[in-house]
Amino acid sequence: MYKGSCLCGAIHVELHGAISDIIHCHCSLCRKNSGTAYATNGFINTKEFKVNDPGNKLTYYEFKPGKKRHFCSVCASPIYSSNADNPEFLRLRLGLLDSAIDERPMSHNFVDSKANWDDLDAEIPRYPTFEPSRL
């Protein structure tokens, strides 16, 4: 079982199943929705997913008919996307998971629309916390 929550803790989720087809999506919609270079998403079975939202803070934006991006109305954390044409699956935003996952990403998608400053193969320094120059 996987557990997760939004940034403010108003919404908690549980997944009692596997995550499939994990991708790093670089499309302009995912970049705008996440505010980052890409969004990491994986498909999950709707029946295996539980949302605990006692304050009714989960809301959505329908960006195309039948296609909704669900997020927390308090902290704006993206939770998942749904598609009325394929209701048995949801696309989960993996950054909200607190549990370590077994599955791994399979690809970077829509790289032709990636942010121009994002170098997928960059050999830049990596730090366990903040960069040393931060005051």
Average pLDDT, the chain: 93
In 1-135, the DSSP E strands lie at 2-5, 12-15, 20-25, 39-45, 49-52, 58-64, 67-72, 78-83, 89-93, 107-109
- For residue 122, what are its two tokens? 């960059």
Q: Are strands 20-25 and 107-109 parallel, antiparallel or unpaired?
A: parallel
* Residue position matching structure tokens 């996307």: 81
Coil, strand or helix at 105: coil
pLDDT in tens, 32-54: 988 999 999 999 999 999 999 99
Domain boundaries, the chain: 2-113
CATH class of 2-113: mainly beta
Write down the pTM of the prediction: 0.88
Average pLDDT of span 69-84: 97
Could you tell me the pLDDT band of residue 132, with boundaries at 50, 70 and 90?
Answer: confident
Q: Which residues pair with 97 in a beta bridge?
A: 4
